[in-house]
Amino acid sequence: MAMNYQEILEDIRVEVQPLLKKGKVADYIPPLAGRSLLHFGMSLRTIQGETYSVGEACERFSIQSIAKVFNLTRAMQLHGDRIWKRVNREPSGAGFNSLGQLEAESGIPRNPMINAGALVIMDMILNHADAGEDLILDKVRALAADESINYDLMVAEAENDTGHRNRAMAWLLKAYRNLDNPIERVLQAYFRLCSLAMSCEDLVTAFQYLATGGTDVHGEIIATSEQVKRINAIMLTCGVYDEAGDFAFRVGLPTKSGVGGGIVAVLPGQYVAAVWSPGLSPKGNSLAGTRALELLTTRTTGSIF
Amino acid sequence: MAMNYQEILEDIRVEVQPLLKKGKVADYIPPLAGRSLLHFGMSLRTIQGETYSVGEACERFSIQSIAKVFNLTRAMQLHGDRIWKRVNREPSGAGFNSLGQLEAESGIPRNPMINAGALVIMDMILNHADAGEDLILDKVRALAADESINYDLMVAEAENDTGHRNRAMAWLLKAYRNLDNPIERVLQAYFRLCSLAMSCEDLVTAFQYLATGGTDVHGEIIATSEQVKRINAIMLTCGVYDEAGDFAFRVGLPTKSGVGGGIVAVLPGQYVAAVWSPGLSPKGNSLAGTRALELLTTRTTGSIF
Amino acid sequence: MAMNYQEILEDIRVEVQPLLKKGKVADYIPPLAGRSLLHFGMSLRTIQGETYSVGEACERFSIQSIAKVFNLTRAMQLHGDRIWKRVNREPSGAGFNSLGQLEAESGIPRNPMINAGALVIMDMILNHADAGEDLILDKVRALAADESINYDLMVAEAENDTGHRNRAMAWLLKAYRNLDNPIERVLQAYFRLCSLAMSCEDLVTAFQYLATGGTDVHGEIIATSEQVKRINAIMLTCGVYDEAGDFAFRVGLPTKSGVGGGIVAVLPGQYVAAVWSPGLSPKGNSLAGTRALELLTTRTTGSIF
Amino acid sequence: MAMNYQEILEDIRVEVQPLLKKGKVADYIPPLAGRSLLHFGMSLRTIQGETYSVGEACERFSIQSIAKVFNLTRAMQLHGDRIWKRVNREPSGAGFNSLGQLEAESGIPRNPMINAGALVIMDMILNHADAGEDLILDKVRALAADESINYDLMVAEAENDTGHRNRAMAWLLKAYRNLDNPIERVLQAYFRLCSLAMSCEDLVTAFQYLATGGTDVHGEIIATSEQVKRINAIMLTCGVYDEAGDFAFRVGLPTKSGVGGGIVAVLPGQYVAAVWSPGLSPKGNSLAGTRALELLTTRTTGSIF
């Protein structure tokens, strides 16, 4: 029986309205701080290629940490399993930017989805001769089938200006000899990566390879089916920081969030969903976005569990 | 295409042989310390009821923390969502018996799969008028369709004699007013629960409800499909302590381990698998058992991701 | 030039009046919770034996943790330097009843002035054949030259009823094999010790040996001059928990406080001072008492620094 | 009775010989790593101006963290009690360069004697219009009555090259808005300060003001007697990092150590002592130097306790 996804998304949009005002916009990155709490967009794309959208699903926003999945995928392409010598794959049980944990674990980040881990992953990409000048941008454009996708340099610059804690993290990684490139080179690449501006529709297209076992919307093989399983596993256990357990419990899908208010979720073999709403929970995940995904798996009665 | 599970299990048994001697038997519970490292058994039961076994799949062993899943299921039956006021559902990022974390989080255990969480869950069961004298034993016997299943009182007594740290945990919970019943009543019930002796075949039968969306082998509804999803989610994010991320990455199934060397894993909609091998990894999970499950999902190319 | 101590104490009493109401009575031990905030007493006894007092200097109160100094002195008499195998002598940088720190440091308490350390010290006293039935009481009576000093059994019982966290601590020590005697035997002895009721005048008499290099008011040698120096050093660095630095900075004397509102301070070679006022600072030290001692060393322009 | 300090120092020199080889030279600052373990020098200067020396008491070495006392004194001169809004004065109970603690306490360093605290103190000096170009150097030259004292720029440069962790610390302070000046300006000033090269005789002269209640060897008033008491108190509780308790216990003097192997100690009203021996204990204090000071207070039977 075909699922009426469009109707389900419409219902979800109505149901999350009261939540929109309750979150808190990320205020430490000035260009994000200005965003209205009232934005809401959502898309779902099946592996057959049907796309369903509601609200501002074509409006681009700062995907922030969602980009860590592109970062990880690129490093896996370039370095394979060698990346696990420099970063672990355990949920952190701590905030996404904890220095104390990095120190307690001697400079090996808990996983690639927290800031310290993403910096190490980026450092590995920079180390590789085949990384290319733009590192990841061309790859993301190809995945999303849209050449107009770009960095938002105002956001990147704002992160650079206010990224004192990320700088502290990078120096601490350096102190533990877990960063090869010059600090500023890694940070600039990282800030640009986080500044990627994409819409919900861009995201459900770009993440298709995680629902199909590795093939993107052009039929290109992006990752082996084993790598895809592993990326999904890491998204489930580490993708929403210290809310991973609650998210698995309520939503039940591999997922990755960003402080820009975006969340992407994958039901392997079926679909990718993306949602955007700038108001965040105290732990840094979109409040209405989380609820929207919870409603999605409840209505469709399908999750990985 | 039907999977030749029997052949796969036979292959796995051969492949894990070299690992058997590499683990370390849990030595803090004397009756477990005596176990030979060479035991190995494995069973898989599909939701259609076919059962496949290799090695000592009918030999009973101390299931230890695997029983925490029965404990959680029983509390959900009796109290529903009220249990989440007293225990969280986040991976701990710490050992299974950390007092520092319980203290830092004011007496609310991180999840029901670590010792502190299981004590609180047991306390809630004891609070309920309908819990019955034996609390959970009758339920487990029914689930496994075997009335001969029982506590191993020698093990329970040994845990009582050496359970200083669990006692410390219980008193700390009491200090935070998160334990209603007398300490010793909760501890005795908890030690008995952990002492349950079951075989791999018992376990794949008893855990059937987690693969079927809630129905046990007799057709009884044990939990709603939503509750089952949630139990599976908690098993995935918290079932193997501070190896949850690595386990999701390598195996990709909701799972629960015990220091007796047993592990149970569930592929919803398909099967339950159980494996037993007493040698443990440094983080307390069966070494050969973990590898056996990794091989299972690799050979069958099926996981939740 | 002789110091006019009586006048100084009178001035101090007036000056601390406004602070009396600002503290908070320890509320976790019911008999202490009932105490009025308005009590204030202070005594000073020079090594020549002159005693000066103001306010309720003869009123007995629960000395609580001040008794840890008697506990330590007794263990030094019985065991000498062997005690340092089981307890350290570093400031804790944490609360007086932190379980996380004890766990992180594998069951070796940071110092004898925090609860865990005092339990280990008490355990060592209980281990010794010469400890005698009353352990310490006769010694304290002799030191204070007053046979009427006694335990307040209502307080000891209240601590027993509410001492869940101390029980957790004792079991954790046991788990690390740093407690030889049965938990309850150690705890009962400890609760009784903390319940000692003494006045400021009792205290300045009893602590005389710390100002004289080891000789008590009867001329008995209680400790060697080297032991006295060490006890004073421990009081300075560890006697007021996580306010040790601030106390050294403001008062500049070896000191020990109790949650009953008492504080004893020693200026070696000159005097012992004791003050009592039940209102506590957030870190658990008498608010007016701390200020009174700060005024004392300011007015007399004498501290150890 | 006059103390025969010269004889005592000679005896100490003989007695510590076996310890010289047992320490470990600080290896993270290359120019220090090259130092022979066999150096030993010691000086003592009474407040009457008599100076006693043995061994290489005139050899200059890198005073490293000992300079934090000059740093603190200068900030007190310029800013008085306002400095305590930005730094605490409690022993850390942790290593001298812990980032986790700084994070847990929201960017307020535990005390001015750990690296984070010294960076904040240096930032305050840089903020002050009267700090002068050289900040502290002229002051140290005057205190030591020797214009030839200087920074060792090779050491400063080496610290700059390897100071990743200090850079991480500085950025973390910046993230908590507890650093006003540009990171590099603060760090360069800090690295230069730590590179000061002085001998034991220089040090006992320069620290005279801490033994005399504030007057230096020229009769200049460097600090009020109250400020001196406070500096001595901070040295006692925080001057040797996480060995403060043990040091107070064994030596019993306000003291400050550096990873160059130097230690300065003060007996207020009597003398300043300085000792140099490059081999360090695991916690970073000179092994033979610590023992030498312990012997000094034992032989002279004088400490602050």
Residue of A nearest to D97 (CA): A103
The alpha-carbon gap from A71 to the nearest alpha carbon of chain B, in Å, equals: 17
Tell me which residue in D88, D233, D246 faces C252 most closely, judged by beta carbons.
D233
Both tokens assigned to C289: 């008492």
* Identity of the amino acid at B7: E
Q: What is the pLDDT of residue A134?
A: 81
Both tokens assigned to B259: 């220091």
Q: Which CATH architecture has domain C5-299?
A: 3-Layer(aba) Sandwich (3.40)
Whole-number Å distance between alpha carbons of B151 and B195: 5
The alpha-carbon gap from B210 to the nearest alpha carbon of chain C, in Å, equals: 36
At D146, phi and psi to the nearest 5? -155, 110
The pLDDT tens digits for D261-297 are 999 999 999 999 999 999 999 888 999 999 999 999 9
| D-contacting residues in A 143-172 (Cβ below 8 Å) | 164-165, 167-172
Tell me which residue in C110, C243, C305 faces D232 most closely, judged by beta carbons.
C305
The complex's ipTM? 0.92
D224 at C interface, C-beta within 8 A: no
Residue-averaged pLDDT of chain C = 94
Pairing verdict, β D255-257 and D262-267:
antiparallel
CA distance between the termini of chain C: 20
Global pTM reads 0.92
The pLDDT tens digits for A160-184 are 999 999 999 999 999 999 999 999 9
| C-contacting residues in D 52-91 (Cβ below 8 Å) | 88-91
Tell me which residue in C100, C101, C164 faces B171 most closely, judged by beta carbons.
C164
**pLDDT beneath 50, residues of chain B:** none
Contact B230, B213 (CB under 8 A): no
Yes or no, beta carbons of D304 and C301 under 8 Å apart: no
Alpha helices for chain D (secondary structure H): 5-20, 30-33, 67-79, 99-104, 115-127, 137-144, 153-162, 164-175, 183-194, 200-206, 208-211, 225-238, 244-250, 287-299
Closest C-alpha among C78, C168, C59, C160 to residue C123:
C78
The alpha-carbon gap from B90 to the nearest alpha carbon of chain C, in Å, equals: 19
Contact A120, A109 (CB under 8 A): yes
Whole-number Å distance between alpha carbons of C253 and D156: 38
Residues of chain A neighbouring B228 (CB-CB closer than 8 A): 305
Yes or no, beta carbons of D238 and C245 under 8 Å apart: yes
A112 at B interface, C-beta within 8 A: no
- Residue with the bigger pLDDT between B38 and C32: it is B38
pLDDT confidence tier of residue A148, bands split at 50, 70 and 90: very high
* Identity of the amino acid at D302: G
Yes or no, beta carbons of A233 and B305 under 8 Å apart: yes
The pLDDT tens digits for C254-266 are 999 999 999 999 9
Asked if residue A133 has pLDDT above 80, the reply is: no
The pLDDT tens digits for B81-105 are 999 999 999 998 777 778 999 998 9
Cα C196 to the center of its chain, rounded Å: 11
Residues of chain A neighbouring D98 (CB-CB closer than 8 A): 103
Q: What is the pLDDT of residue A92?
A: 83
What's the number of CA atoms in the CB half-sphere (13 Å) around residue B191?
23
- Residue with the bigger pLDDT between B102 and D132: it is B102
Tell me the average pLDDT across D187-194: 96
Residue C234, CA distances (Å) to A163, B37, C229 in order: 43, 50, 9
pLDDT confidence tier of residue A66, bands split at 50, 70 and 90: very high
Residues of chain D neighbouring A104 (CB-CB closer than 8 A): 100
The alpha-carbon gap from D172 to the nearest alpha carbon of chain A, in Å, equals: 5
Whole-number Å distance between alpha carbons of B150 and B159: 16
Helix, strand or coil for residue A218? Answer: coil
Yes or no, beta carbons of A90 and B93 under 8 Å apart: yes
Interface test with B, best of C99, C160, C177, C179 (most B CBs within 10 A): C99
Residues of chain D neighbouring A100 (CB-CB closer than 8 A): 99-101, 103-104
Yes or no, beta carbons of B99 and C100 under 8 Å apart: yes
Yes or no, beta carbons of C242 and D90 under 8 Å apart: yes
Q: What is the pLDDT of residue D148?
A: 97
Tell me which residue in D93, D101, D249 faces C230 most closely, judged by beta carbons.
D249
Residue-averaged pLDDT of chain D = 94
Tell me the average pLDDT across C180-208: 97
Q: What is the dihedral of CA D100, D104, D110, D114, to 10 degrees?
A: 10
Residue of A nearest to D162 (CA): A175
Yes or no, beta carbons of B104 and C104 under 8 Å apart: no
Residues of chain B neighbouring A228 (CB-CB closer than 8 A): 305
Interface test with A, best of D28, D92, D101, D103 (most A CBs within 10 A): D103
Interface test with A, best of D29, D101, D166, D172 (most A CBs within 10 A): D172
Quote the Cα angle for B15-B16-B21, to 5°.
140
The pLDDT tens digits for A6-58 are 999 999 999 999 999 888 888 777 888 878 889 999 999 999 999 999 999 99
Q: Which helix (H) or strand (E) holds A159?
A: helix A153-162
For residue C215, list its beta bridge partners: C221
Asked if residue C247 has pLDDT above 60, the reply is: yes
D175 at A interface, C-beta within 8 A: yes
Tell me the average pLDDT across A142-170: 95
Quote the Cα angle for B221-B53-B211, to 5°.
25
Both tokens assigned to B206: 């008893």
Asked if residue C1 has pLDDT above 70, the reply is: no
